Structure 1
């Protein structure tokens, strides 16, 4: 424990030198803090290979940001360990988010695609039902509905074209639509 305190006592001076680009000071700092940073990363990640990667990333960060270290805010060891802990937690969060994205993608992949065959069959059946229902209408009702819905004519235009009173056209349209609704079993 005494040796550790002696090593920690020299860390602020090493950090000052590292901040000025002293590679020998960084080598000493690395030797002093690497094992502890690895231990923190390993305790969060539970994987030695990832803990090694995190330790390397943290020590590269220490090299590049040594000038940001402030002695009045904590010890060098605590700063390095805090960086290691944050980086390890970020890696866990990233892995969790990636896993969640992959799970969502897998669920979407299992979602059945649009079934064109069943949709075509359903459409054909609906068309056949409409044809059967139209067959149950009178010729006059079919003609009025065709002029109104397929040619877009108004009741007045239909009356003029068929040479019948407008009231007759309206009655044929209303009765034809009621019969279609009833035969198609469309709820009100």
Structure 2
């Protein structure tokens, strides 16, 4: 990257492809240890990363902690970013979603552990094996049902419900009209509901 990256990363007049290219240049510079490039990348990604963390984690303080962890990981893992596998934004949001889910699971596990200890202390039996098997079967059924969706349905549902993006953000990331994304989400959710045998 010979020329310095302009302070305004993505102007309204820039196309999505041009903005994505600027972010890719920043990640390349960050991978070489360029702190100024990281500051620009941080400014560009932080609001979206925090948005995903807030949607998944819910607790504002924990969401901010998760967002900080994600941006530190972006700094550390910049050299591992592969442009062919998605945009910088989708890469960062994937990390944000994974970290957020890990935080929620960790909190749930701590709560369940406390509950099990409490039940054990009062003498109520707890069948961990049965719970683990039931959870695994549920996960396998969800995976099987997701496999029955079209590519756009699966991608839209993953971005909207697992990564916490708005419909408009999903449409932008997929390069599809908002109406099309909403229709695919609706159709995909109906298919999932039917496959899982959920009553409407």
Report the TM-score range of the alignment, normalised by the length of the smaller protein. 0.5 to 0.7
| Residue 33 (structure 1) aligns with | 45
* Equivalent position SS for 1:21: coil
* Equivalent position SS for 1:10: helix
TM-score by length of 1: 0.56
Give structure 2 stretches of 5+ with no counterpart: 1-11, 125-200
- Which deviations, in whole Å up to 9, do the C-alpha atoms of 1:50-102 show, x marking residues without a partner? 11101100000011110000001100000000000000001111111111110
What is the number of equivalent residue pairs in this alignment?
112
Matched, 1:60 2:80: no
| Residue 111 (structure 1) aligns with | 123
- The structure in which a higher percent of residues are helix is 1
Q: 1:51–1:88: 8 Å Cα contact kept in structure 2? A: yes
Following superposition, which runs of at least 4 residues in structure 1 exceed 2 angstroms of deviation? 1-9
| Residue 42 (structure 1) aligns with | 54
For residue 88 of structure 1, the aligned residue among 100, 108, 114 is 100
Distance 1:49 1:100, change over 3 A: same
**Which 10-residue stretch deviates more, 102-111 or 73-82?**
102-111
Distance 1:2 1:9, change over 3 A: farther
For residue 27 of structure 2, the aligned residue among 6, 15, 18 is 15
Give structure 1 stretches of 5+ with no counterpart: 113-188
> What RMSD, in angstroms, separates the aligned Cα atoms of the two structures?
1.7
Higher radius of gyration, 1 or 2:
1
- Which deviations, in whole Å up to 9, do the C-alpha atoms of 1:25-69 show, x marking residues without a partner? 000000000000000111111121111101100000011110000
